[in-house]
């Protein structure tokens, strides 16, 4: 018994020691696993992200930003860019018919389901790309503008190069899987900035939460709209190979950023990652800009482009604001699979006129070249060899007519001196005056002593009209007035005359 006791004690000691070692190892293991689980998104081999200050071009955050990734439906951002370009040049109009070929109608979901030979308007096609991410409508647009989807893909890649997107190649108009089609997070940020800078008159489409298409109410896949302060677009995307992608544009006061998340493990984790990036880096963004970040280009369109559109013989007017419509809140319970390129949708439908559900009053385009007085390239802020780029007041043409009907409250005989605030810029003097009248009625107390006037200027052979209020004694007075307008969601900036 006495000899056996030490043995039992020894065995017990070993057991206790083993237990302690196991417990310690388990604790260490758990400690090492916890941070990895928290950073699951960044651990995924497909993951990439970037946050760019859209005022200065400074990179605020970068993770695998220059690594090749599959764009999935982010591809449609370039399809939309080229569509906006064709609209702005009068090659097509919003009510032009987009005819669906057999090739377009046969595209897999997600789609709106127009039969071969059927058609919808350009505007309905734009909205279907932004909300449902419709593959069939994207192909139909590409064939319309490029003559064929293959030619359109070449146009897309050429435009990407001209925008400084060095790591991107497009093979189709919709982002359906193709191993030869790739991009980078940085390139997608450049494209996001270019869409706003070059086509502000169309940019508000990206904030559409839903629109009526026949008997359907098509909701936007972007769940951050209306839920994260300042988010006004742009596009989601998903395929099995790419993971869950998202490009977001965010504005808070004078701060603006564009953020990109590629390769998310799920829609929810991608959205959470994006929300965290916005929360972290928006406060770091500059309140002042340094000029256009993406050089404006006019890449020649191939001769076969816009093969199916009824082309006007001269530039046609393109309004910079969309029709008013009711606000419809997107369904928060939308399943992740809805944004997949593999979802089955309803049967083919006719081509109804879309009814747009807006999130806010239309925003009026303002030229950043006027505001900042210069030009810098994206991120690399040396531009000695760059050719001057056009301002963000895109030369979408309008038949010019002599100025008509002076508004009662406005003094336009001469350009006042001193400090002024600019609220808009339009290719129509009459439209600029209407904007001034509307603004004066929205904030009568702020602008009671101000004089409203328009200032014409030439760009690209087109006359534009700056809509301004003068009568401010100092820079501070103009800034204070502009801040008061911004609280009413009226975009503006102060300027010395």
* Residues that are catalytic: 73, 76, 133
How crowded is residue 278: how many other Cβ atoms within 10 Å of its Cβ?
Answer: 21
Tokens representing 166 are: 């060095």
Helix-helix angle 149-162:76-88, to 10 degrees:
90
Torsion angle (degrees, nearest 10) of CA 445, 451, 453, 457: -110
Tell me the β-bridge partners of 278: none
Q: Compute the Cα dihedral for 465, 471, 472, 473 and give only its sign.
A: positive
Q: Is 30 helix (H, G, I), strand (E, B) or coil?
A: helix
Q: Is 238 helix (H, G, I), strand (E, B) or coil?
A: strand
CA distances from 381 to 60, 290, 461 (A): 15, 9, 29
The b/e string for 412-440 (b: 16+ C-beta within 10 A; e otherwise) is beeebeebbbbbbbbbbbbbbbbbbbebb
**Strand ordering across the sheet containing 255-264:** 59-63, 48-53, 255-264, 243-252, 231-239
Tokens representing 28 are: 């260490």
The b/e string for 305-333 (b: 16+ C-beta within 10 A; e otherwise) is bbbbbeeeeebbebebebeeeeebebeee
Tell me the β-bridge partners of 261: 49, 246
Q: Is 100 helix (H, G, I), strand (E, B) or coil?
A: coil
């Amino acid at each position: 018994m006495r000899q056996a006791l030490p043995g039992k004690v020894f065995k017990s000691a070993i057991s206790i020691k083993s237990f302690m070692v196991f417990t310690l190892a388990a604790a260490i293991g758990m400690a090492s696993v916890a941070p990895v689980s928290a950073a699951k998104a960044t651990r995924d081999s497909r993951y990439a992200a970037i946050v760019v200050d859209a005022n200065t071009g400074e990179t605020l955050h970068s993770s695998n930003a220059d690594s090749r990734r599959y764009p999935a439906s982010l591809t449609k951002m370039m399809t939309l860019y080229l569509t906006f370009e064709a609209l702005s040049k009068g090659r097509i109009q919003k009510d032009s018919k987009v005819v669906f070929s057999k090739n377009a109608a046969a595209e897999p979901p997600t789609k709106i389901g127009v039969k071969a030979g059927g058609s919808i308007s350009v505007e309905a096609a734009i909205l279907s790309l932004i909300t449902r991410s419709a593959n069939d409508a994207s192909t139909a647009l590409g064939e319309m503008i490029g003559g064929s989807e293959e030619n359109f893909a070449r146009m897309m890649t050429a435009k990407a190069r001209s925008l400084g997107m060095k790591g991107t190649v497009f093979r189709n108009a919709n982002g359906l899987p193709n191993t030869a089609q790739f991009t980078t997070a940085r390139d997608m940020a450049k494209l996001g900035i270019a869409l706003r800078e070059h086509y502000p008159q169309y940019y508000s489409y990206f904030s559409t939460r839903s629109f009526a298409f026949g008997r359907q109410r098509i909701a936007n896949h972007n769940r951050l709209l209306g839920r994260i302060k300042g988010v006004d677009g742009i596009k989601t995307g998903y395929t099995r190979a790419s993971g869950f992608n998202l490009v977001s544009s965010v504005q808070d006061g004078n701060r603006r950023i564009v953020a990109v998340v590629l390769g998310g493990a799920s829609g929810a984790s991608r959205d959470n990652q994006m929300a965290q990036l916005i929360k972290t880096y928006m406060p770091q963004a500059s309140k002042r800009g340094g000029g256009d970040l993406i050089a404006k280009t006019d890449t020649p369109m191939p001769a076969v482009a816009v093969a199916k559109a009824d082309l006007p013989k001269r530039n046609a007017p393109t309004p910079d604001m969309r029709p008013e419509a009711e606000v419809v809140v997107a369904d928060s319970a939308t399943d992740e699979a809805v944004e997949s390129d593999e979802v089955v949708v309803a049967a083919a439908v006719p081509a109804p006129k879309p009814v747009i559900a807006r999130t806010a009053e239309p925003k009026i385009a303002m030229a950043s070249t006027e505001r900042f007085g210069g030009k810098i390239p994206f991120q690399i802020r040396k531009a000695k060899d760059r050719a001057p780029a056009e301002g963000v007041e895109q030369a979408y043409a309008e038949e010019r007519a002599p100025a008509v009907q002076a508004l009662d409250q406005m003094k336009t005989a001469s350009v006042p001196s001193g400090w002024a605030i600019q609220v808009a810029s339009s290719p129509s003097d009459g439209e600029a005056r209407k904007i001034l009248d509307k603004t004066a009625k929205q904030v009568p107390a702020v602008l009671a002593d101000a004089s409203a006037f328009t200032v014409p200027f030439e760009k690209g052979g087109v006359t534009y009209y700056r809509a301004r209020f003068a009568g401010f004694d100092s820079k501070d007075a103009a800034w204070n007035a502009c801040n008061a307008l911004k609280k009413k969601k009226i975009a503006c900036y102060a300027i010395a005359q």
